[in-house]
Structure 1
Amino acid sequence: MKIAIMGFGTVGSGVEEILYKKRKSLLKNNFDIEIDRILIKDKSKKRSPLNKNLIFTDNFKEILNSEVDTVIDVTSSLEETYERILSLMKAGKNIISANKAVVSKYFEELNELARANNVYFSYEASVAAAIPIIHPMMEEVFFNDINKICGILNGTSNYILSMMEKEGLSYDVVLKKAQDLGYAEADPTADVGGFDAMRKIRILSSLLYNAKIKEEDILTFGISTIQKSDLDYAKKMGYSIRLLAKSKLDGGKIDISVIPTFLKDNFFAKTFKGSNAIKVWGENFSSYELKGPGAGKLETADAIIRDLLRILSAREIKTFYDGTNSYDLENNCLGKYYLRTSKISSKLEDLIDQDEILAGDHHIITKKTSLDKLEAAILDLNEVFIAKIEEEI
């Protein structure tokens, strides 16, 4: 099988490393994989592939018009990558993508195009890196009604929260440490704003419920406003704080959100550093749990190689998602919430159950309310940190 790779950053070089180091083992098991060429933006940039004979190109048409069977997308762009994937699928080439922004935003279009052109569209690496979640779910939905999924889906946020909790450091100090270690990008907005986790829960939920779920309909709260006092307050109450992405299908309605959460559930509370953790509930089992590295060079490349071998051995599941199920989205998320704010609006006043003033800030526990109602009550407030309080996951 001849393949091409779009992008040769951390993950792209990881794919090349695995294929190079494991070539003998792969050949022994009838997996003859040849990297035909790699698409890059800057040919003048020095690169250090293990295979010194690799061909690099900055001309997308070389890949589009080549004889490669499958193209691996490990880019970070959105619209440009989407347009390229469309062209590649129309040319009859299978796509493996780790680009969760593209997979999430254009989930319906990409699945439809894969069916129309009878090609594979694989995206295991777009959610939770090395943790096998997409393909187990693809298998389950044929015979099992999955009705709920909950997870820590962003390693950067989890690293920040767990290190703040463990070492008692401020958000800014831990964020800088995360950036130095490569956990966080120079611009960490997608991670700490909750948008990365939102895209992943959108991909999983769309697949599980075979429904169309728009990114903008998912209530998303991040951790960028968290302070050490929030973790101290949670600890005093016996909780940890983790960023949870959740969706539930019940009564013909999908309840879906991303929000920091006060929790005691050990499965999530004891998920540290860059790890991801996912819990799934279905008709044929009460729940099962998956935990592991949610990011990383070889970890993400590992998921890509699994997709590649499934395609090569014709074991991959052909695209079946068509979004035919029509469900209302209801972000009620009923429960109690924690807020820290310097001011209180009149709308918020009606929702307060407890209010403790520490260092000039209100640390509030609300009455039982819905998330959308609470969101409306804090719209005019600045620098609010909000978290849901969970008794059980």
Structure 2
Amino acid sequence: MNIGLLGFGTVGTGVYEIINKRKDFFRSLIGKDLNINKVLVKDTTKDRNINISKDKLIDNPYFILDDPNIDIVIEAIGGTAEAYAYIKHALTTGKHVITANKAVVAKHMKELMDLANKNKKAFLYEASVGGGVPIIKPLKQQVTLNDIEEIKSILNGTSNFILSKMIREDLEFTDALHIAQELGYAEADPTDDIEGYDVRRKLAILSTIAFKREVKEEYIHCRGIRTIKSVDTKVIKELGYTVKLLAKASFKSNKYYLSVEPSLLPDDSFYAKVENANNLISIIGNDIGELKFYGQGAGKFPTANAVVSDVLDILYNNYQNYGIDEGTYKLCNNTDLVKDRYYVRLSPKHTLSDYVLKVVKEEKIADKIIKTGDHIIFTTGNIELKKINSFINNVKESIKDEFYAAIQ
């Protein structure tokens, strides 16, 4: 069984090392050799800190994609346009495909699944959500037995690390982000992580499987963590809470509610104890109840391990590309289905502080009001998001751009 590996970065080298290290075990397990016999790299002459024959390195992806001796293609180059083109080409030419590329899976999931089904090949992507946390395969199994009612998850190690540092050490967001970048938790451009886009892609993938409907990224209400300040984390701690970037999807009354946003959680909750790069994914089925999946959501070997688990499913012929229902359905992104409690900070100019405080009291949506410095902070009872948004817009309109509002 021959594998072509597209990309030899963090994930690609991890996959290569795991397969080489356990080659004898795989042979005894499945009765055949498992070979990575071609690896796509940008520079075949580069010195690499890994034991690999130079003969395996190629710089033309079609030496893998069009090779009739290659059975499985593992895409590990990242990006979107090229990765999508290579995955589609490989499936079209009758190869099994494995990827960790959440951006491609979230955007093209239905098309690639349909293509894999047409050619009777596997399209597997366990590592695209949760890194080393096994969630895709268990979720596929559960949707055959259960109607999935809810998904609730912490799915991004970068944002989780930043929020943990802010809560524990009273740091400002920019300081915590800088530490995350120095330690390798955050990229030089952290936009996808801190604005919630990375989590939104992962939630789109999970929701598509769970609800058997094509869920696009743009369906999902999304807010990141950039607006959170140390004044917020201090007050949140005093209230007995912590804050996490949560991905939530639920199904009620034949409608779907999907969101990615910072959420307050009691200090003693299971989610509050998820630290650094760890992920927690909870699913609720009508018969099974709640299942929780916890583990490392990123890293070389956890992610590579998920890729290799997909390889084993192909070797055992233990895969199924589930179809996506094209029937009519209605998505509800933000208002009607879910009521929640909200944390709101208003930071008006000093001269307008009394006026804003008066408006907050008159609206009668606050169950607790805190005045600290130039900030007016309040929490609400269970109300609809559209009511909070309407309040913020009304205040903005009345005093124009004289304050900054943050909602958690």
SS class of match (2:232): helix
Give the drift of 1:44: 4.7
Q: Please point out which of 372, 387, 390 is paired with 1:358.
A: 372
Q: Distance in 1 between matches of 2:204 and 2:392?
A: 25
Q: Residue by residue, what CA displacement relative to the aligned partner does 1:309-365 show, whole Å, maximum 9, x if unpaired?
A: 11011112x212223343211122322211223246999884741443323223232
Q: Distance in 1 between matches of 2:364 and 2:56?
A: 62
Q: Please point out which of 100, 105, 113 is paired with 1:111.
A: 113
Give the drift of 1:302: 0.5
Give the drift of 1:42: 3.6
What is residue 340 of structure 1 aligned with on the other side? 345
Q: Residue by residue, what CA displacement relative to the aligned partner does 1:200-245 show, whole Å, maximum 9, x if unpaired?
A: 1110011011012221120001111211111111111111101110
Q: Distance in 2 between matches of 1:270 and 1:217?
A: 29
What is residue 280 of structure 1 aligned with on the other side? 283
CA RMSD of aligned residues (A): 2.2
Say if 1:325 and 1:144 are closer, same or farther in 2 by CA, change over 3 A: farther
What is residue 168 of structure 2 aligned with on the other side? 166
Gaps of 5+ in 1: 388-393
Is the contact between residue 16 and residue 50 of structure 1 (CA under 8 Å) also seen in structure 2? no
Q: Distance in 2 between matches of 1:242 and 1:314?
A: 39
Report the TM-score, using the length of structure 1 for normalisation. Answer: 0.92
Give the drift of 1:92: 0.6
Give the drift of 1:160: 1.1
Within 5 Å, which residues of 2 pair with 1:68-147?
68-147=70-149
What is residue 27 of structure 1 aligned with on the other side? 27
Q: Distance in 1 between matches of 2:95 and 2:346?
A: 52
Q: Distance in 1 between matches of 2:364 and 2:25?
A: 62
Is the contact between residue 345 and residue 378 of structure 1 (CA under 8 Å) also seen in structure 2? no
Give the drift of 1:136: 0.5
Gaps of 5+ in 2: 349-355
Give the aligned residue type for 2:3: I
Within 5 Å, which residues of 2 pair with 1:6-17?
6-17=6-17
Is the contact between residue 171 and residue 227 of structure 1 (CA under 8 Å) also seen in structure 2? yes
Give the aligned residue type for 2:52: N
Is the contact between residue 279 and residue 296 of structure 2 (CA under 8 Å) also seen in structure 1? yes
SS class of match (1:308): helix
Structure whose CA Rg is larger: 2
SS class of match (2:251): strand
Give the drift of 1:101: 0.6
What is residue 371 of structure 1 aligned with on the other side? 385
Give the drift of 1:16: 0.9
Q: Please point out which of 361, 381, 386 is paired with 2:407.
A: 386
Q: Distance in 2 between matches of 1:15 and 1:7?
A: 10
Give the drift of 1:376: 5.5
Give the aligned residue type for 2:49: S
Give the aligned residue type for 1:3: I
Within 5 Å, which residues of 2 pair with 1:310-321?
310-316=313-319, 318-321=320-323
Aligned pairs, how many? 386
Give the aligned residue type for 1:287: E
Give the drift of 1:38: 1.3
Q: Distance in 2 between matches of 1:81 and 1:17?
A: 22
Q: Distance in 1 between matches of 2:358 and 2:257?
A: 27
Give the drift of 1:285: 2.2
Q: Distance in 1 between matches of 2:250 and 2:307?
A: 28
Is the contact between residue 65 and residue 73 of structure 2 (CA under 8 Å) also seen in structure 1? no
**Structure 1 stretch displaced more, 225-234 or 289-298:** 225-234
Of all paired residues, the percent bearing the same amino acid is: 38
SS class of match (1:138): helix
Q: Please point out which of 302, 307, 311 is paired with 1:304.
A: 307
Is the contact between residue 357 and residue 376 of structure 2 (CA under 8 Å) also seen in structure 1? no
SS class of match (1:4): strand
What is residue 391 of structure 1 aligned with on the other side? none
Q: Distance in 1 between matches of 2:132 and 2:274?
A: 15
Choose between structure 1 and 2: higher helix proportion.
2
Give the aligned residue type for 2:252: D
Is the contact between residue 351 and residue 367 of structure 1 (CA under 8 Å) also seen in structure 2? no
Is the contact between residue 44 and residue 54 of structure 2 (CA under 8 Å) also seen in structure 1? no
SS class of match (1:342): strand
Give the aligned residue type for 2:77: T
**Structure 1 stretch displaced more, 161-170 or 363-372:** 363-372
